[in-house]
Structure 1
Amino acid sequence: MSRIGTLMKQREPEQDSLLPAVLTRRISPARSTTVAAWSGMALGVGVLILFVTGMISHLIQHPPGWFWWPAHPVWLYRVTQGVHVTVGVMMIPLLLVKFWSVYPRFFLKEPIRPREALPRVLERLSVAVLIGAILFQIVTGLFNTAQFYPWKFFFTTTHHAMAYVAVGAVIVHVAVKIPVVRNVLSRAPKAAEAAADPIPDASTDVAGPRNALPPGNTRPPGLSRRAMLAAAGAGTVVAGLAVAGQSVPFLRWVSVLAPRSGHGPQGVPINRTAAAAAVTETARSPQYVLTVRVGGRERGFSRAELEALPQSDSALPIACVEGWSAQGHWSGVRLRDLLASVGEYRGGDVRFVSLETTGIYGSSVLPHSFATDASTLIALRLNGADLTLDHGYPCRLIAPNRPGVLQTKWLKSIEELS
């Protein structure tokens, strides 16, 4: 008897299932190591992309001393965060296929030798952590794109922390499954694949009489593994297209599930209104003054005084962590010119404080390289018209390659940090 045949015979007693026999007999031939391995590899690549792009967004918003992010190209954050959200949605069909292909294995009755007990327990725990972490990340990420928060924890920090858990679980799971993946990638013979499968393919009769159909009955051929993988790939592409248009303008006509279409007041969507920020009265007040402190000097500017300064234009996208982005044509005063009109700018970071006092993003800090960039404006107009109140009237910050939450609206003060 061949070694593979011996392995099959040895594994036969281990393949008892807790599932009813009627379900065991109907296990699809597509529920195989091949489908599980290929969908798992695709998920692993997706998790890696999500981790890298998610870390970029987190570091921009909460930069440690060593972190550096460029002001150009101005569209880079638009791409990284658009990829992050789109790939996250594309993971959903892959995850469903992965669960579908492996769930019968959760019901196996397998005798375990004492020396195998601890590794087996650790493997099952890693799978439980992997499933839980990825489901948590996808569900909370989807809710965040819709700005729906039915929980009490702070999404940003929790999502960031769980990313490490998910990546760690993926690494452990991949390490355990390397032999199986190697077999699939090397296109091992079908019998060898069946020997590695706790739940064999319906097309291989390695489970013996226990899985045999009653006389006179025939098993429907079912979906092949190749067809299942093709369907998984198609579903993944469709899921991506359904949301990608919120960051890729020419795809907006097919992105039927995108939370943001790219439209909004003055042609740009908004996340937070003036009413929600409780700034309606203060922003419209005739006594409004923007206070600027730089080089040990301080000066206040009314809206009219800002309009009297030399004006500049910048074509910049505004991109938000929810994945949507839109191009805008902004007009206003270059930040570097405004600072120079007050005092000598010595090159420190610049803090922007909003009239808003109720939110967690009422201020932001702009690094030196962004503060001196010619495209960074204290914007007064958008797409040819004065800023609407919801877009930050009387003035707001707009800088290249930054998340929307850091483009502070309804500016109250600007201060150079020492």
Structure 2
Amino acid sequence: MPKLRTPRFSVPKPRLPRIPVPQLQPPEFNGRLHDARTATAIGRWLGIAFAVCFVTGLISHYLQHPPDWLADHLPARPTWGYRLTQGLHIATGLAAIVLLLVKLWAVYPRLFVRPPVRSVRHGLERLSVAVLVAAAVFQVLTGLLNIVEWYPWPFFFVPVHFAVAWIAAGSILLHIAVKAPDIRAHWSRSSAGTRELPAEDAPDRRSLLLATGAAVGAVTLTTVGQAFTPLKAFDLLAPRHPDRGPQGLPVNRTAVAAGVTERGLRAWRLEVVGPRPYTLTLDALRALPRAGARLPIACVEGWSVEADWGGVRLSDLVARAGGRPGSAAVRVTSLEVSGSYRVMEMGAEYVEDPLTLLALTLNGQPLSLDHGAPARIIAPNRPGVLQTKWVYRLEVR
């Protein structure tokens, strides 16, 4: 009997659907305003803003940290000098944020050019642009965080911001030198290079520039009132308002933050060290001949406000300790527990100025603890961080 064979069936294997692999293509930018004319127009404003920031930043830095040869010659007049320069520094720095964003928008397609480096010269140019962009972004970002007093980094802001300012300034000068032909060609409407640009782009470019100007104006209007008090009603975005704070003035560093308490001041004495040292109680200090001055407090964060201060002239205290008129410098020490400005040096120009006071009153009232009670320094044309509060020791040098 023949064997029955079981038929074999072949089951077809399922086929997976073919998934197309996307091909990476370099990005294409069809925006008509990513051109040299737009970049040059914005660059003019941005260059001015950075130049003002750089010069006023140098003034602020050397007023706070003068070299030895300059310390005794820093000018105490005009009384509003630092208020003006630091107000400009912060106002132009905030405006530069808007301008930098628009400038980067206008030029960012060039970051994706292919090939990335075409020659040694082209590679050096791209490297210089990378340094410029990094330094510029670092400066405006850290400056913005400084005025709101938020420091999410491990380094001390002042020396790093100062050092990178030089890098940014050098990068800008190098960039201008490299791009001088393009800048010249697109500097004005009558420039020869503008004939290469489509005429239909002009209205869009004007709209972009007007919108940028409006944004800069809005940022300035809503922040500059912290220093230019006639516009304080529009002070909506600034971190400080000139009328808000103890005794009607803002405060950066409170007594709590400085570790100063009412209890710790019960045995307060003013110690004046010099050829003829002496010590004064608060009552004895108040009994000395009094002087008054209307001076601004102008802080590095950009806010400033004028107030009436009363107290004793610093020059009188120095003379009583045997300091030589016209040449005596003073080291001032605060009761605050710690801080970069706990000890402050004051040059002879400030010491001799009749408006420089060891202040005891503010707007006719005794100093509050947050404003430096029982005594603080107030001097003309001087950064707020050097208007030392909670003074307990003066050393005539």
TM-score normalised by structure 1 residue count: 0.84
Matched letter for residue 96 of structure 1: L
Identity %: 45
Following the alignment from structure 1 to structure 2, what is the Cα–Cα distance between the partners of residues 299 and 270?
31
Offset from partner CA, 1:353-391 (integer Å, 9 cap, x none): 011131111011111111111111110000110000010
Paired residue for 1:406? Answer: 386
Structure-2 change in CA distance of 1:191 and 1:69 (3 Å): closer
Paired residue for 1:59? Answer: 62
Contact kept, 8 Å, 2:341 with 2:385, in 1: the verdict is yes
Following the alignment from structure 1 to structure 2, what is the Cα–Cα distance between the partners of residues 130 and 144?
21
Following the alignment from structure 2 to structure 1, what is the Cα–Cα distance between the partners of residues 116 and 377?
65
1:341 shift after superposition: 3.0
Aligned residue among 326, 331, 335 for 1:351: 331
Contact kept, 8 Å, 2:299 with 2:383, in 1: the verdict is yes
Aligned residue among 172, 177, 196 for 1:170: 172
Paired residue for 2:187? Answer: 185
Following the alignment from structure 1 to structure 2, what is the Cα–Cα distance between the partners of residues 348 and 357?
27
Following the alignment from structure 2 to structure 1, what is the Cα–Cα distance between the partners of residues 237 and 381?
26
Of stretches 356-365 and 388-397 in structure 1, the one that deviates more from structure 2 is 356-365
Paired residue for 2:256? Answer: 275
Paired residue for 2:277? Answer: 298
- Is 2:78 aligned against 1:78? no
Following the alignment from structure 2 to structure 1, what is the Cα–Cα distance between the partners of residues 354 and 328?
17
1:281 shift after superposition: 4.5
Structure-2 change in CA distance of 1:151 and 1:48 (3 Å): same
- Is 2:34 aligned against 1:31? yes
Contact kept, 8 Å, 2:323 with 2:396, in 1: the verdict is no
Matched letter for residue 277 of structure 1: A
1:104 shift after superposition: 1.5
Following the alignment from structure 2 to structure 1, what is the Cα–Cα distance between the partners of residues 290 and 331?
22
SS at match of 1:185: coil
Structure 2 residue runs of 5 or longer lacking an equivalent are 1-24
Matched letter for residue 179 of structure 2: K
Structure-2 change in CA distance of 1:87 and 1:327 (3 Å): same
Following the alignment from structure 1 to structure 2, what is the Cα–Cα distance between the partners of residues 375 and 93?
39
Following the alignment from structure 2 to structure 1, what is the Cα–Cα distance between the partners of residues 168 and 297?
29
Following the alignment from structure 2 to structure 1, what is the Cα–Cα distance between the partners of residues 32 and 324?
70
Aligned residue among 231, 238, 241 for 2:221: 241
Structure 1 residue runs of 5 or longer lacking an equivalent are 1-16, 195-200, 204-220
Contact kept, 8 Å, 1:29 with 1:223, in 2: the verdict is no
Following the alignment from structure 1 to structure 2, what is the Cα–Cα distance between the partners of residues 107 and 151?
31
1:110 shift after superposition: 4.8
Structure-2 change in CA distance of 1:282 and 1:297 (3 Å): farther
SS at match of 2:277: strand
SS at match of 2:308: strand
Aligned alpha-carbon RMSD (Å): 1.9
Contact kept, 8 Å, 1:282 with 1:355, in 2: the verdict is no
Paired residue for 1:11? Answer: none
1:134 shift after superposition: 0.7
Following the alignment from structure 1 to structure 2, what is the Cα–Cα distance between the partners of residues 272 and 119?
50
Following the alignment from structure 2 to structure 1, what is the Cα–Cα distance between the partners of residues 140 and 120?
30
Matched letter for residue 133 of structure 1: A
SS at match of 1:109: coil
Contact kept, 8 Å, 2:356 with 2:377, in 1: the verdict is yes
Paired residue for 2:106? Answer: 101
Following the alignment from structure 1 to structure 2, what is the Cα–Cα distance between the partners of residues 111 and 130?
17
Following the alignment from structure 2 to structure 1, what is the Cα–Cα distance between the partners of residues 32 and 241?
41
| 1:12-411 matches, cutoff 5 A | 18-20=26-28, 24=29, 27-67=30-70, 68-110=73-115, 117-186=119-188, 187-189=190-192, 192-194=195-197, 224-262=204-242, 263-281=244-262, 283-285=264-266, 287-294=267-274, 296-346=275-325, 347-411=327-391
Following the alignment from structure 2 to structure 1, what is the Cα–Cα distance between the partners of residues 116 and 262?
72
TM-score normalised by structure 2 residue count: 0.88
Q: How many equivalent residue pairs?
A: 368
Following the alignment from structure 2 to structure 1, what is the Cα–Cα distance between the partners of residues 366 and 218?
39
1:288 shift after superposition: 1.0
Offset from partner CA, 1:125-163 (integer Å, 9 cap, x none): 111111111111111101100011111100000000000
Structure-2 change in CA distance of 1:188 and 1:343 (3 Å): closer
Following the alignment from structure 1 to structure 2, what is the Cα–Cα distance between the partners of residues 64 and 132?
29
